[in-house]
Amino acid sequence: MDWSFSEHALGRALDMALDPEDIRQVLTHPDVKQPSGPGYPDHCQVWASNRIALVVSPDEQVVITCLWRGVTYVRGAEDEPYRD
């Protein structure tokens, strides 16, 4: 099955001017896979590689959003290292 992108994820990828190859790298060979943390359903994960991270639903193969890579992510926190 191919990955699909939420409308929000597509908008973020365009706003961030992400290279499609960087996105493909995260989806095929992520350096990091971790729980998505507060603000997202339990089945979502953060996958990261190089300079970007993606919040994904692996079972559905859907990209929820695109973020700048950081160490931890708490959605909506003022000190979040990802920009959402």
Is residue 20 included in any domain, yes or no? yes
Instruction: Examine residue 55 and state whether it is found in any structural domain, yes or no.
Output: yes
| Number of independent structural domains in the chain | 1
The verdict on residue 32 lying in a domain is yes
Chain position carrying tokens 């959402």: 84
Q: What is the pLDDT, as a whole number, of residue 80?
A: 47
Q: Is the residue at 76 inside a domain? A: no
21, part of any domain: yes
Q: Do 75 and 40 form a contact (C-beta atoms < 8 A)?
A: yes
Supply the pTM of this predicted model.
Answer: 0.81
**Domain that includes residue 40, residue range:** 4-68
pLDDT digits (tens, 9 = 90+) for 3-56: 999 999 999 999 999 999 999 999 999 999 999 878 888 899 999 999 999 999
Q: Are strands 62-68 and 52-57 parallel, antiparallel or unpaired?
A: antiparallel
Q: Which among 84, 81, 41, 38 is positioned nearest to 65, based on CA atoms? A: 84
